[in-house]
Amino acid sequence: MSKKTTKITELVISEENEALAIDAISLVTSPAIEVDFVYFNKSKNNLTFAKVDEEKRELISPALIPNKQIYRYDANTDSEYYVYFSKDTVKKAAYSYLKHNNHHKATYQHEQRVAGVLTVESWIKEGDQDKSKLYGFDLANGTWFVKMKIENEDLWQRIKAGEIKGLSIEGYFIDKLEALSKPTYTDEEIVKAYNELITEGKIKKNV
């Protein structure tokens, strides 16, 4: 009996659908990246923040970790596999998220849009002195971190109760190998093919 091999796939951003790379960030009970966030209020203001008089209602979390294998299950094929993102893809995703003004888009458990959740900071860890260490994280360089302001009362109570534990991205990514297997054509090749179609009479040249 042959040993079952688990597929590991690198996901990348589709150039044709770059705007869809990160559509929203979801607050979830079980984050796919397997890292919980930390949250701060007046009783947990234990780092470098100035003292506050009322709850800040902020949370800090990694959104994507480069080369971190994320478990997936395809019910259609009854198959298990893992996906991961390179440092370059993580950075592109983070930039795209802000470029397309998605900092105010959030969901709960990937199911419903929720109001009152805003990304107020977004950064890529670039070295050992990164401020993410001040929050207790020791993750790889290239990790995308976000700070989110939670004004939604229901969600904040769920966070404080420990029901919501982390973040999970929502977006459109494609298999890198499948993307590389797609044929690409130069402008010269396209013009040549077009002229051949005109010669063969399959299309008419516009005058």
pLDDT tens-place values along the chain, 207 residues long = 444 557 888 888 777 666 666 778 888 888 777 676 665 444 443 333 333 324 688 888 889 899 988 887 777 777 788 888 899 999 999 998 998 888 999 989 888 899 999 999 999 999 989 989 888 888 999 999 999 999 999 998 888 888 888 888 887 777 654 543 344 545 565 566 556 555 655 444 443
Distances (CA, A) of 46 to 38, 89, 129, 151: 11, 33, 18, 21
CA angle 34, 68, 121 (to 5 degrees): 70
Domain map (residue ranges) of the chain: 7-181
Is the pTM higher than 0.75? no
- The amino acid at residue 74 is D
